[in-house]
Structure 1
């Protein structure tokens, strides 16, 4: 997870804490947290990066809607990050 941006890490956390969210649900969660608009041009390329890294799996809800879920590798990365953070916080 060391090679992720903070935004990508936040995406991973939101996906992990939600049951197979779709892109707009993830966007809404992050907009509430950041208190700023998240543009599609920022959201979807970063989601694709998480998929390419094997941390997130992309599925389909219907013809127009993708869903996202954390892979086992993604969950291990979250656990490792949490352990690392607990050393300092």
Structure 2
């Protein structure tokens, strides 16, 4: 069962930031351009660097995402354990209200 305190932290995020978390969770090797490409596919519009990277930095600052380096120019991103717990708590909360027949 989710803890309300975990859910409240997720509520502090924008929808865009939540979507970033889900994309990072779903990619094998998340790095800035791969995350950007996935987001552009979903949003069907260009995601500018000025929107993407400050939001990624916010997720890092909140302790949900860890930022590393793949090389001199490329940052990698990975969910922290807290980020994983936040997603799990959010999905459990959503499932209380939305169930889809498959």
- Decide which structure has the larger Cα Rg and report it: 2
State the shift of 1:19 in Å: 2.0
Contiguous gaps of at least 5 residues in structure 1: none
What is the TM-score normalised by the length of structure 2?
0.86
Instruction: Output the aligned Cα RMSD.
Output: 0.5
For residues 39 and 88 of structure 1, the distance between their equivalents in structure 2, rounded to whole angstroms, comes to 33
1:52 correspondence with 2:57 = no
State the shift of 1:20 in Å: 3.1
Select which of 72, 83, 87 maps to 2:92: 83
For residues 82 and 21 of structure 1, the distance between their equivalents in structure 2, rounded to whole angstroms, comes to 21
For residues 72 and 19 of structure 1, the distance between their equivalents in structure 2, rounded to whole angstroms, comes to 16
Aligned counterparts, 1:9-88, within 5 A? 9-88=18-97
1:22-57: per-residue Cα shift (whole Å, max 9, x none)?
101000001001100000000000000000000000
Runs of 4+ in 1 over 6 A off after TM superposition: none
| More RCO (CA 8 Å, sep 6+) | 2
Contiguous gaps of at least 5 residues in structure 2: 1-9
